Amino acid sequence: MRRRRREHIPTARRRALTPGKPSRALAPRKPSRALAPGKPSRALAPGKPSRALAPIRVTKPFRVLALLPVLALLVSGCGGGAAELGGPIRVVAAENFWGSIAGQLAGTHASVQSIIVNPASDPHSYEPTAADARTLATAQLVIVNGIGYDPWAPRLLAANPTLGRQVLTVGSLLGLREGENPHRWYSPADADAVAAAITASLKRLDPHDATYFDGRHADFESQGLARYHQLIAAIRTRFSGVPVGASESIFALLSPALGLRLITPSSFMKAVSEGTEVSAQGAVTAQQQIAQHRLEVWIYNSQNATPQIQSLNALAAQRGIPVVTVTETLSPAGATFEQWQASQLQALAQALHRATGR
């Protein structure tokens, strides 16, 4: 029987056809990036060596370093000063007492807008609007009181993060925590500290006009607040030690600077200010102090006149105790911070004079 001739198969092909051993030679080759359609290869350019075909890997550190100048431009562009933007700095204050101070310090180099401006409303219970959120989102400098006074403001800022935006929180500046007295604008020393911090923020946003902002700050302290500080000093000189009462803690920060002795229980004032239940003991003590004429002047916040406070106001009037009104925000709304405060101090000085004859 004739033997069948064995077909000669080359060694490389036999390896490729061997079961269980995939051949690298027959494996589909990956297309070269240099030969990708539509992308001409630098490696095929005449006179350039073929090593250029090898892809160049850009490491992450290199990419981050390369982006730093871009990020710096974005920061300066988004939060830059008037010199970079060709216009005034956009400043938004949660409350108009801080907004008034900021406006006077910034002058023509900033546009200042305040959110809470209505002297007839209670800032503690303020509900922000969609327009408020848009206003805050476009600000380069935001001034927030903090200390639990305006909790809506940080929430709106967190929902609209903006690169380069500066936020001045008064409570953080003064090292205070939630639960402490939030009415810091009634403290003369704290108002001065906030004015200095606002000036520093404006200078960071617009360093080219630092001298201008320093001049505005000096004028505000020496001229704008002159009458305000004069009235404080005069009351302290004439009426130091006189006992007074107050409906809430808003006055507790001003009375030490005036030298007055505030005798209303602090727990009573804090509860009224925060809208929580007043203890029975605190209510009785506050009422007895007025009924027994143990205080010379009664001061109350007209923006938070609860039925209980209205009852104490009526009792003070019956006992011949002068009643002085203060507010939490500017009143009238168009007044400046110092005009508003000076007007209240003048009324207080007149009431103290009627009560004591001094």
What average pLDDT is seen over the chain?
Answer: 83
Residue 110 has pLDDT above 50, yes or no: yes
In this structure, the answer to whether residues 215 and 231 fall within a common structural domain is no
Higher pLDDT: 180 or 13? It is 180
pLDDT for position 86? 57
Domain-located, residue 61: no
The answer to whether 92 and 116 are in contact (CB under 8 A) is: no
Cα 112 to Cα 261: distance, rounded to the nearest angstrom: 37
163, 78 contact by CB (below 8 A): yes
> Residue 199: what pLDDT?
98
pLDDT of residue 356: 97
pLDDT of residue 252: 97
Closest to 168 measured CA to CA, from 139, 133, 210: 139
Mean pLDDT on 217-246: 98
**Percent of the chain at pLDDT above 90?**
73
Give pLDDT, residue 7: 46
Q: Is the pLDDT of residue 1 over 50?
A: no
Q: Could you say which of 224, 252, 279 is where a domain stops? A: 224
Q: Is position 27 within any domain? A: no
Residues 220, 90: one domain? yes
Q: How confident is the model at residue 124 (pLDDT cuts 50, 70, 90)?
A: confident
Same domain assignment for residues 219 and 255: no
Q: Are residues 152 and 271 in the same domain?
A: no
User: What residue numbers bound the domain in which 88 lies?
Assistant: 78-224
Check if the beta carbon of residue 104 is closer than 8 Å to that of residue 223. Answer: no
- In this structure, the answer to whether residues 232 and 210 fall within a common structural domain is no
pTM as predicted: 0.76
Among the candidates 224, 256, 282, a domain finishes at 224
43 bridge partner residues: none
Domain final residue, candidates 187, 207, 224: 224
User: What is the pLDDT at residue 34?
Assistant: 40
Chain segment 137-171, per-residue pLDDT in tens? 999 999 999 999 999 999 999 998 999 999 999 99
Has residue 46 been placed in a domain?
no
213, 240: one domain = no
Whether 70 is covered by a domain: the verdict is: no
Same domain as 340, residue 261:
yes
Residue 271 lies in a domain: yes
Q: What was the pLDDT predicted at 119?
A: 84
Instruction: Say whether both 178 and 306 belong to one domain.
Output: no
Domain shared by 218 and 86, yes or no? yes
Could you list the beta-strand ranges (E) of the chain: 89-95, 110-116, 141-144, 166-169, 243-246, 261-262, 297-301, 323-326
Measure the CA–CA gap between 106 and 202, rounded to whole angstroms: 7
CATH label of the domain that carries residue 247 = 3.40.50.1980
pLDDT reported for residue 221: 97
If asked whether residues 115 and 133 sit together in one domain, one would say yes
pLDDT (average), residues 262-272: 97
For tokens 């005034």, what's the residue?
Answer: 88
Residue 152 Cα to chain centre, angstroms: 11
Query: How confident is residue 46, by pLDDT bands cut at 50, 70 and 90?
Result: very low
Asked whether residue 4 is domain-assigned, the answer is no
Residue 190 and residue 168 share a domain: yes
CB atoms within 10 A of CB 283: 18
Q: Is 293 helix (H, G, I), strand (E, B) or coil?
A: coil
The number of distinct structural domains making up the chain is 2
Q: Specify whether the CB–CB gap between 309 and 95 falls below 8 A.
A: no
Per-residue pLDDT tens for 48-98?
Answer: 444 443 443 433 333 323 333 333 333 333 444 343 455 899 999 999 999
Asked whether the beta carbons of 133 and 159 are under 8 A apart, the reply is yes
pLDDT at 6 over 90: no
Which among 146, 149, 198, 195 has a CA at the least distance from the CA of 172? 146
On whether both 204 and 92 belong to a single domain, the answer is yes
Give the DSSP letter of residue 334: T
User: Is residue 296 pLDDT above 70, yes or no?
Assistant: yes
DSSP string computed for 201-244: HHHHH-GGGHHHHHHHHHHIIIIITHHHHHHHHHHHHHHTT-EE
Q: Look at residue 116 and tell me whether its pLDDT is greater than 80.
A: yes
Phi-psi region of 260 (alpha: psi -120 to 50; beta: other; left: phi over 0): beta
Position 323 pLDDT exceeds 60: yes
Asked if residue 172 belongs to a domain, the reply is: yes
pLDDT average, residue stretch 201-210: 97
Q: Quick one: tokens of 152?
A: 């809506």
Q: Which range has the worst mean pLDDT, 35-44, 68-77, 316-325, 340-349?
A: 68-77
Domain assignment present for 14: no
